[in-house]
Amino acid sequence: MKLHAAAILVIFWLGVFTVHTVKGSIGSQPMRKFSCVSLSTQQLNIRNLVSYEKQQVPVNAIMFITRKGIKICVSPDQKWVRSAMEKIDQKRTTKGK
């Protein structure tokens, strides 16, 4: 009877350890809530953009965020995209002063 109870206890602790290990390894990886999978081809109005994020996976992209919180993904290779990023960076540095 004692051997039976010990076996159940060991199985229980192995189960707890396994769940804790799996949960920790998955939970410790940062995950984006929104990720670019396709890119817009339209040029955006720079005045409506408030920030951006660079992304390389699953596609190389710049994710612009508008005043209304809309996220739009575009190719970083376009000239207007680099210009918009510079303008947003300038706004950030003048706000910090």
- pLDDT by residue (tens digit) across 50-68? 999 999 888 999 999 999 9
Specify the pLDDT at position 35: 87
- Give residue limits of the domains in the chain: 1-31, 32-97
The number of angstroms, rounded, from the C-alpha of 85 to the middle of its chain's C-alpha atoms is 19
- pLDDT by residue (tens digit) across 6-47? 556 556 555 544 444 444 444 444 555 678 889 999 999 999
Phi, psi at residue 47, to the nearest 5°?
-65, -20
Position with higher pLDDT, 94 vs 49: 49
Pick the CATH number of 32-97 from 3.40.50.300, 2.40.50.40, 3.30.1370.160, 3.40.950.10: 2.40.50.40
